[in-house]
Chains A and B, each alone.
Chain A
Amino acid sequence: MLEKGKIIRHNQVGTDLYEIELAAGAIVREAQPGQFIHLRVGDAYDPLLRRPLSIYDVDAEKGTMEILYRVVGKGTKLLTQLTAGEELDLMGPLGAGFSIAEGINKVCLIGGGVGIAPLVFLARRLRSKNVELCFLQGTRTRAQIVAEQRLQAWSVDHYIATQDGSCGYHGMVTDLLTDENIMQGVQFIYTCGPEPMMKAVQAWACQHHIQGELSLEEYMACGIGACLGCARKLHSQDEFYVKICKDGPVFGLHEVELYEGRTGS
């Protein structure tokens, strides 16, 4: 659906990282973890297209949702200038979100950088179903760590890895997968972040015969499967392409051929 979302709060939470809280009752009622909203920043022609951003968290009672975004270009840079009281033009919730398997008692969520955004909403949903979870968050440095307080409030086991060692484990977040104290009893794994990170998660899960899901990204125009812009082959030998916006952004962890670089095909 289309909805005008009024900005309730907008603040910087880390290096180039911002949280924005929006009143968008109709979208919030339908939103599922892993889905995204397609938002228009301003009404000028540059930037022209909407920006797809994962839903970071929702408050069903208040009818609000939060978006966590990283400043990467013109659109997100412009977005940082908007303040409380202003409205954003929203389309959503869009895409296929995470599935929440029944009969699973413990899951692992592993996110890199701003890729943790959809995993936080998922953590909220899983905790409301009393699923035990370990949340592994990887960043380059301490100033990029977010969501600590809310994860704590939901009694989530939260593990941090920084590449510069400024907080938590010193190294890649995927190294934590080998820690049996953390991973003991994990039956399902969800991941979102840089592709090389997800590739390492996939390799570990494959080795341990654990199923899971991941979330992909791609340039998008329409966000609803009409323009066929956000195409990707799940496997390089496939003949046909899936559309990240409509068939995804969530796919089975073992369903996708991942790459060390940004993308293949």
Chain B
Amino acid sequence: MTQAYPSPDLSVNLGGIQMANPVAVASGTFGYGQEYEKFVDIAAIGALIVKGTTLTARPGNPNPRIVETPAGMLNAIGLENPGVDVFLDEYLPYLHAKNVTVIANIAGNSIEEYAALAARLEGQEGIAGIELNISCPNVKQGGLQFGTDPDTVYQVVKTVKGETGLPVLPKLSPNVTDIVAIARAAEAAGADALSMINTLMGMAISVQERQPVLANVFGGLSGPAIKPVALRMVYQVYQEVGIPILGGGGIMCCEDALEFIMAGATAVSIGTGNFVHPRLALDIVQGISDYMQAHEIEHLQAIKGCAVR
């Protein structure tokens, strides 16, 4: 008979965001949560990072917007969203009433827009933190241009921190030469945690039509194909910064999530995997719990970064 071991404590503190478990769902892969309610208890997810919000509504990119690639997919949605007012009026109250841990995700065309968005979210009930999209590869203005230069990252984060008392997590792009320099700049500017990574820029060509598949030509690659890259980046950044990391990129199972935690992530985010298995986030929570019990781990702190050499 196996000896009974107390239920492990799955809760984590992600730079001031208190999560009941270490598994979040990534922005743009879970809508505003309602879409998934038929399939999963959304309040049980560690944190729900909602679709990226801009100051005013954006229609998004022409279609085709997505295409499957080996062990992954490319997307170029183009930040389609109804604007911050609709998010606050129509979606947030619902999630708040359901007791969902919500992390807002904001994207601006200028530093002023990031500031205005952060100010608009300040004092709103039901937001646990703000993820800064400074890494969207699919919009012409804004997005990625803010996330590839350490000085700009510093300015955006510093400005947003001046507008809000909420925890702020910039979402880092992998499409850079030195992700550690970007992470350091974010930390120096007062970021409470880091979210990493966003998608890797890629493309696909239709041989029949002799042209790019995506109307936007380029798109962001996600899914298990990018996991080794994401893991390496989390591992590198963990050694160089003191703030917690929300790590993700291609997580499809509990073992993948544990790899990120062992590379130094405090919590993990599930993205493309949600499309494949709507219940994946909660299955992974269960899997982590089982692993902890089997290995007599009381808290994830015990294995966070344990693989770092």
Contact = CB atoms under 8 A, between A and B. Distances in A.
Contact of A48 (B35, B59, B68, B215): B68
Given A219-B67, A241-B59, A48 B272 contact: yes
A49 B60 contact: no
Interface string A207-240: 0000000000011111111111111110000011
Interface string B190-224: 00000000000000000000000001000000011
Interface residues of B, number: 38
Contacts of A223: 275
B256 to A, nearest CB: 11
Interface in B65-94: 65-68, 70-73, 75, 77, 80
Given A1-B39, A45-B224, A222 B75 contact: no
Interface string B18-61: 00000000001111000110110000000000010000010111
Contacts of A239: 59
B60 A48 contact: no
B62 A91 contact: no
A228 B138 CA distance: 14
A40 B65 contact: no
A224 B35 contact: yes
Given A239-B59, A265-B215, A49 B276 contact: yes
A137 B243 CA distance: 63
Given A226-B36, A265-B215, A46 B66 contact: no
B252 interface: yes
Given A46-B70, A229-B65, A221 B59 contact: no
A15 B11 CA distance: 55
A194 interface: no
Given A47-B68, A229-B75, A221 B275 contact: yes
B64 interface: yes
A33 to B, nearest CB: 20
A11 interface: no
Contacts of B68: 47-49, 219
A223 B66 CA distance: 12
B35 A45 contact: no
A221 B75 contact: yes
A147 to B, nearest CB: 29
B279 interface: yes
A87 to B, nearest CB: 15
A241 B276 contact: no
A contact residues, range = 20 to 34
B63 interface: yes
B224 A48 contact: yes
Contacts of A226: 29-31, 35-36, 274-275
B63 A221 contact: no
Given A48-B272, A227-B77, A265 B62 contact: yes
A53 B225 CA distance: 25
Given A221-B66, A241-B60, A228 B77 contact: yes
B71 A227 contact: no
B278 interface: yes
The winner among A46, A218, A225 for most chain B CB atoms within 10 A is A46
A227 B29 contact: yes
A83 interface: no
A2 B60 contact: no
A40 B278 CA distance: 12
Nearest to A224: B35
Contacts of A224: 31, 35-36, 38, 278
A228 B80 contact: yes
Contact of B63 (A1, A46, A265): A265
A110 B123 CA distance: 56
Contacts of B64: 218-219, 263
A227 B79 CA distance: 11
B36 A263 contact: no
A240 B66 CA distance: 17
B278 A218 contact: no
Nearest to B62: A265
Contacts of B61: 231
A140 interface: no
B158 to A, nearest CB: 31
Contacts of A48: 68, 71-73, 223-224, 272, 276
Interface in A92-144: none
Contacts of A232: 63
Contacts of A222: 29, 35, 274-275
Given A47-B68, A48-B71, A48-B224, A225 B275 contact: no
Contacts of A221: 66, 73, 75, 272, 275
A227 B28 contact: yes
Nearest to B252: A45
8 contacts: A2-B278, A49-B73, A221-B73, A222-B274, A223-B275, A225-B31, A229-B66, A239-B59
Interface of A: 1-2, 40, 45-50, 91, 218-233, 239-241, 246, 263, 265
Smallest CB-CB A-B distances: 3 pairs? A226-B31, A229-B66, A226-B35
